[in-house]
Amino acid sequence: MQKQKNIQVKDKTFTISIPESEIRQQIKRVANEINRDFAGRQPVFLAVLNGSFIFAADLLREVDLPCEISFVKLASYQGTSTTGSIREVIGLNIDITDRPVIIVEDIVDTGLTMAHMLETLQNQNPSSIDICTLLLKPTKLQVKLDVHYCCKEIPDDFVVGYGLDYDGFGRNTKDIYTIV
């Protein structure tokens, strides 16, 4: 079937930038790295909702290790500190003490979300924490962050599709699209 070059999500137009075939290929590559690096261990994958739901489903089916998966969400609320919005990790209903943890994220932009996740998870004494992201915008990073597994680095442009949204919409496409 002919791929749609441009899509409309609410008031914005997006053009195809990462086709499904490339996403699949990169996920296989990253899964192979994880299979190699975690051989003999039983990692816990922690997928960050909502954006990573499709990525996590495809990644896990390429992982051939004995492993568990759990889903966490970040709730934003207005804090009293000067930083304004504080994000709380909710839904971590699995004991990660002494377990190798792999965070599964859709996109790392400023890196602030991942920095906060790392801080929260470290309090639970896992044996290791690695970050696995579908996309990374290296020029936007505001914090020093070790991103161990990354399917693709992209320029600083807003993207949708394959789980990523614009204002809640646009998650349900097989390809990834960049804003025009």
Active site residues: 109
30 or 176, CB closer to ligand IMP? Answer: 176
Q: Which two tokens stand for residue 173?
A: 């496409």
Considering the complex, what minimum distance in angstroms separates the CB of residue 83 from ligand IMP? 13
Q: Which residues sit at the interface with ligand IMP, rule CB under 6 A?
A: 51, 105-113, 158-159, 164
- Reference 102, options 8, 30, 175; nearest CA is 30
Considering the complex, what minimum distance in angstroms separates the CB of residue 130 from ligand IMP? 16
Considering the complex, what minimum distance in angstroms separates the CB of residue 155 from ligand IMP? 10
99 or 129, CB closer to ligand IMP? Answer: 129
35 or 57, CB closer to ligand IMP? Answer: 57
Q: Which two tokens stand for residue 150?
A: 């990354």
CB 100 within 8 A of CB 38: yes
Taking the C-alpha atoms of residue 171 and residue 109, their distance in angstroms, rounded to an integer, is 17
- Reference 100, options 24, 146, 46, 161; nearest CA is 46
Beta strands across the sheet bearing 176-179? 6-9, 12-18, 176-179, 159-160
53 or 94, CB closer to ligand IMP? Answer: 53
Considering the complex, what minimum distance in angstroms separates the CB of residue 42 from ligand IMP? 26
Strand segments, DSSP code E, in the chain are: 6-9, 12-18, 44-49, 68-78, 85-90, 100-108, 128-136, 149-153, 159-160, 176-179
